[in-house]
């Protein structure tokens, strides 16, 4: 067995340009940088095989970004096996857009042509930013690969309360309440609702629990000095999701907290399965306000962003405390020789089928929205907000119609799946905002000591992301469990589980050969 070689690199991929910030149903044009957004590359080479982790402070990976990065890496260093690049997004809702020029069709200002007018507002090209991002990300990969040096890895798990459940279940069906709003964005509720009101006489329970495991893989040089860590947390980074400035969200605060103690180490964040989780509580809000007032000093309770900054700090402290606890004992067992094996396969998952009734709803909804004109009677910002929401609603119906046609010949959705091992630690990727239950199904059946699930992994091609709900999510309906949100069915989710477990067992069986 060969000594493991490790290489790290990172790039600041922030931009001062007025770039769109995706993650909402309206356009938000960046007014600056709240804190840096980064890409971080880690190469772990076992001699016979390797993995190239790439983490990015983005909401999702789309628009051929992974293809562009792989092509750039191949050009800069043809020796690098670009198929082994496993890219994932932290799911910050304050990262720059690399794809929304397509979604919003910017630059054309004729009403009802699938374009969002924006007179009075400059918007930088997301396509140009994507090229810039791909160049910097590929540079980081090439640098990390070139800096590979003998070292060691350690691993362990701890606990950090970061995520809370965000799907609220009611005794009654919300869609049947008087005055219920039924639309293509958030008005798709049944017995469940994303971020539903818990102070409701018919509040029953949260649909599922939460996952407080903190999975960590540490890297060391040959002198046993800590050089960096993968931190795998089942929670999106969404505290600053309403900001009009770029931000890595709570991962920035986490990097600051850890580097204050451990020096300028590399931090590679991974978002584990958490499509139904969130870094904010839905009840106990008054208690939280009191907690932050006494812990951090008086805050303006009317300023949601200020509260969220306290929440970010609180989360970072908890992750750092968990990191400290695990590092204290994990560093006692550093592996300098470990098997590294990395399988990349394209699997096909059963789609969430659009029914005849549903496509008719989409056709009628689109026809109605196409009769509405863009409006220009407010400020430039107000106009952009309203008009981009209108176009987003149209696009949701257009996608349903397109999917209905596509499913006739393509009932399965292809997905690039990475399953790999580093010693007795496994990693399994997926493209989705994956509901937590699927993660537990994989981890419970894994033959490895620890299993890191990585959601929102980049895919070849233009598409990426989308929620993948469970059977009980499908029953409850609501945002994240509707036809608009789910490209793959719960059945397809179980197929993902089975394929991931199959490949983990294949990797583990190599120990017996």
Segment 377-381 mean pLDDT: 96
- The string of DSSP letters for 390-413 reads HHHHHHHHHHHHHHHHHTTT--EE
Under a CB-based contact definition with an 8 Å cutoff, are residues 254 and 38 in contact? Answer: no
**Model confidence pLDDT, tens digit, residues 26-59:** 999 999 999 999 999 999 999 999 999 999 999 9
* pLDDT for 300: 58
Largest CA distance in the chain: 72
φ, ψ for residue 382 (rounded to 5)? -65, -40
In this prediction, residue 104 carries a pLDDT of 66
pLDDT digits 0-9 by tens, 244-292: 999 999 999 999 999 999 999 999 999 999 999 999 999 999 999 899 9
**Does 202 have pLDDT greater than 60?**
yes
Segment 355-364 mean pLDDT: 97
> According to the model, what pLDDT value does residue 1 have?
76
SS (H, E, C) 463-503: CCCCEECCHHHHHHECCCCCCCCECECHHHHHHHHHHHHHH
Question: Residue 238 above 80 pLDDT?
Answer: yes
Percent of the chain with pLDDT over 90: 91
Tens digits of per-residue pLDDT, 440-483?
999 999 999 999 999 999 999 999 999 999 999 999 999 999 99
pLDDT of residue 107 exceeding 50, the answer is: no
Average of per-residue pLDDT values in the chain: 94
Q: Name the DSSP class of 98.
A: S
User: How confident is residue 511, by pLDDT bands cut at 50, 70 and 90?
Assistant: confident
Residue of higher predicted confidence among 182 and 101: 182
Q: Are 480 and 275 in contact (CB under 8 A)?
A: yes
Question: What pLDDT was estimated at residue 512?
Answer: 64
Q: Which helix (H) or strand (E) holds 151?
A: strand 149-159
- 357's enclosing H/E stretch is helix 356-369
211: helix, strand or coil: coil
Q: 146: helix, coil or strand?
A: helix
**Range from 102-106, 134-138, 196-200, 437-441 carrying the lowest mean pLDDT:** 102-106
Task: Write down the pLDDT at residue 357.
Answer: 97
- Residue 305: what pLDDT? 76
Q: How far is CA 20 from CA 27, 43, 391, in A?
A: 6, 31, 15
pLDDT at 301: 47
Residue 101's pLDDT band (cuts 50, 70, 90): low
Q: Classify 477 in phi/psi space as left (phi over 0), alpha (psi -120 to 50) or beta.
A: left
Buried b or exposed e, range 19-29, using 16+ CB within 10 angstroms: bbbbbebebbb
Q: In the prediction, which pLDDT does 113 show? A: 44
Q: In terms of Cα–Cα distance, which of 429, 416, 414 is closest to 351? A: 414
Q: Containing H/E element for 8?
A: strand 5-12
**pLDDT of res. 299:** 60
* Among the listed residues 153, 305, 120, 308, the one whose alpha carbon sits nearest the alpha carbon of residue 222: 153
The contacts of residue 182 (CB under 8 Å, 6+ apart) are 175, 188
Decide: helix, strand or coil at residue 205: strand
Structure confidence at residue 304 as a pLDDT band (50, 70, 90) = low
Tell me, what's the pLDDT at 186?
Answer: 80
pLDDT at 114: 52
What angle, 0 to 180 degrees and rounded to 10, lies between the N-to-C axes of helices 380-406 and 356-369? 150
pTM listed for this prediction: 0.96
φ, ψ for residue 171, nearest 5 deg: -65, -35
Question: Is the pLDDT assigned to residue 158 strictly greater than 80?
Answer: yes
pLDDT of 183: 84
């Amino acid at each position: 067995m060969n000594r493991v070689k490790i290489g790290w690199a990172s790039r600041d991929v922030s931009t001062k340009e007025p770039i769109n910030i995706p993650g909402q149903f309206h356009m938000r044009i960046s007014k600056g940088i709240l804190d840096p957004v980064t890409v971080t590359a880690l190469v772990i080479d076992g001699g016979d095989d390797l993995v190239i982790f790439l983490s990015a402070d983005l909401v999702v990976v789309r628009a051929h970004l992974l293809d562009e990065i792989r092509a750039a890496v191949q050009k800069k260093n043809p020796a690098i096996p670009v198929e082994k690049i496993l890219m994932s997004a932290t799911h910050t809702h304050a990262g720059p857009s690399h794809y929304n020029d397509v979604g919003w069709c910017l630059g054309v200002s004729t009403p009802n042509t699938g374009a969002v007018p924006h007179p009075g507002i400059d918007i930088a090209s997301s396509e140009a930013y994507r090229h810039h991002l791909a160049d910097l990300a590929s540079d980081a990969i090439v640098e990390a690969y070139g800096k590979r040096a003998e070292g060691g890895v350690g691993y362990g798990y701890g606990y950090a309360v970061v995520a809370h459940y965000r799907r609220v279940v009611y005794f009654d069906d919300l869609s049947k309440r008087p005055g219920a709003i039924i639309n293509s964005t958030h008005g798709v509720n049944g017995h469940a609702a994303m971020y539903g009101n818990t102070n409701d006489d018919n509040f029953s329970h949260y649909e599922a629990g939460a996952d407080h495991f903190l999975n960590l893989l540490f890297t060391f040089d040959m002198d046993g000095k800590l050089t960096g860590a993968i931190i795998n947390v089942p929670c999106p980074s969404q505290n600053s999701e309403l900001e009009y400035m770029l931000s890595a969200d709570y991962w920035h605060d986490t990097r600051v907290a850890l580097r204050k103690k451990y020096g300028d180490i590399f931090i590679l964040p991974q978002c584990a399965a958490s499509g139904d989780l969130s870094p904010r509580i839905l009840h106990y809000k008054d208690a939280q306000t009191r907690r932050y007032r006494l812990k951090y000093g008086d805050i303006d309770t009317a300023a949601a962003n200020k509260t969220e900054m306290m929440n970010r700090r609180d989360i970072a402290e908890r992750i750092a405390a968990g990191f400290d606890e695990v590092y204290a004992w994990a560093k006692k067992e550093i592996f300098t020789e470990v098997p590294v094996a990395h399988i990349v396969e394209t699997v096909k998952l059963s789609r969430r089928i659009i029914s005849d009734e549903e496509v008719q709803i989409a056709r009628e909804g689109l026809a109605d929205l196409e009769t509405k004109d863009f409006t220009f009677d407010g400020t430039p910002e107000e106009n952009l907000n309203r008009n981009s929401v209108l176009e987003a609603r149209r696009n949701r119906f257009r996608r349903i119609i397109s999917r209905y046609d596509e499913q006739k010949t393509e009932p399965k959705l292809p997905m690039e799946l990475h399953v790999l091992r580093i010693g007795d630690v496994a990693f399994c990727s997926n493209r989705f905002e994956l509901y937590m239950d699927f993660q537990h199904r994989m981890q419970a059946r894994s033959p490895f000591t620890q299993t890191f699930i990585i959601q929102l992994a980049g895919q070849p091609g233009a598409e990426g992301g989308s929620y993948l709900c469970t059977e009980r999510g499908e029953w409850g309906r609501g945002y994240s469990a509707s036809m608009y949100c789910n490209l793959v069915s719960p059945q397809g989710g179980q197929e993902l589980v089975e394929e991931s477990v199959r490949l983990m067992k294949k990797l583990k069986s190599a120990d017996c050969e």
